[in-house]
């Protein structure tokens, strides 16, 4: 089994739930959400299905845990890309308006790169991160307007909202486009990721794929900023 969230491989006494999630996540990595089977996860950990059922009421319960893990890893990938971009930029004066503007633009682009990279390199977990688990519906809350919608604890989306707010605060966002901008950007990048993962773009060589990602993200940014 690969290394899990605890940084240790395999099952360790007192941490069976996490070990099962790690095993189920490995199943998802290889075959997507359809491959997540509680009995197989228990077998891989080396415990009986009965022991596994003490931590998960059913297979949907385990799949929800894998979905949450997929979302966590997706957000980690996005944050890692931001950290790399900020490190490569060599810093700058946060009080400088021009620096704030460029940093905000770079942050939004980095989020998109990290999002697509995770989808392409971790297709099984990416699919699991967005699979539907009927037993555990994720409710969106807010008012009547699209700008009032909030997805609860979905960190990847909160990162996107923060990037949009940073663009707005830096004074480079086009007038009248802030409300709901995160949904338009998310839809574009998610659609691109699916085309690269399961669609006709999956057959293109990596350089062409990277060029399409770069161009798409640039067009999203151009549509948002002045």
Tell whether the torsion through CA atoms of 119, 183, 78 and 173 is positive or negative.
positive
Query: Residues 82, 125: one domain?
Result: yes
Q: Number of folded domains in the chain? A: 2
Query: Residues 83, 159: one domain?
Result: yes
Query: Residues 36, 105: one domain?
Result: no
What's residue 93's pLDDT? 86
The answer to whether position 61 is within a domain reads no
Query: Residues 145, 179: one domain?
Result: yes
The answer to whether position 83 is within a domain reads yes
What's residue 81's pLDDT? 98
**Domain, as residue range, for 74:** 68-224
Is 0.75 surpassed by the pTM of this model?
yes
Identify which has the larger pLDDT, 138 or 35.
Answer: 35
Q: Over 80: is that where the pLDDT of 162 sits? A: yes
Query: Residues 76, 182: one domain?
Result: yes
Query: Residues 113, 33: one domain?
Result: no
The answer to whether position 24 is within a domain reads yes
Q: Over 60: is that where the pLDDT of 3 sits? A: no
Query: Residues 207, 139: one domain?
Result: yes
The stretch 101-117 carries a mean pLDDT of 97
What's residue 154's pLDDT? 86
Q: What angle do CA 127, 149, 86 make, to 5 degrees?
A: 65
Task: Determine which of 108-117, 131-140, 171-180 has the lowest per-residue pLDDT on average.
Answer: 131-140
Q: Over 70: is that where the pLDDT of 96 sits? A: yes
């Amino acid at each position: 089994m690969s290394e899990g969230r605890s940084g240790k491989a395999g099952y360790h006494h007192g941490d069976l739930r996490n070990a099962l999630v790690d095993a189920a996540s490995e199943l998802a990595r290889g075959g997507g959400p359809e491959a997540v089977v509680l009995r197989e996860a228990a077998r891989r950990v080396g415990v009986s299905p009965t022991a596994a059922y003490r931590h998960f009421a059913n297979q949907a319960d385990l799949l929800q845990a894998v979905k949450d893990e997929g979302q966590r890893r997706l957000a980690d990938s996005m944050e890692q890309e931001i950290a790399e971009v900020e490190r490569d930029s060599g810093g700058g004066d946060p009080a400088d308006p021009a620096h704030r503007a460029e940093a905000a633009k770079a942050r939004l682009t980095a989020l998109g790169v990290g999002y697509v990279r995770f989808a392409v390199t971790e297709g099984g977990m990416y699919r699991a991160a967005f699979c539907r688990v009927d037993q555990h519906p994720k409710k969106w809350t807010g008012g009547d307007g699209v700008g009032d919608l909030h997805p609860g604890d979905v960190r990847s989306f909160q990162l996107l909202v923060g990037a949009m707010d940073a663009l707005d605060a830096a004074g480079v966002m086009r007038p009248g486009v802030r409300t709901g901008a995160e949904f338009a950007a998310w839809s574009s990048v998610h659609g691109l990721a699916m085309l690269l993962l399961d669609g006709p773009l999956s057959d293109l060589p990596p350089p062409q794929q990277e060029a399409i990602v770069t161009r798409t993200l640039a067009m999203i940014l151009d549509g948002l900023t002045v």
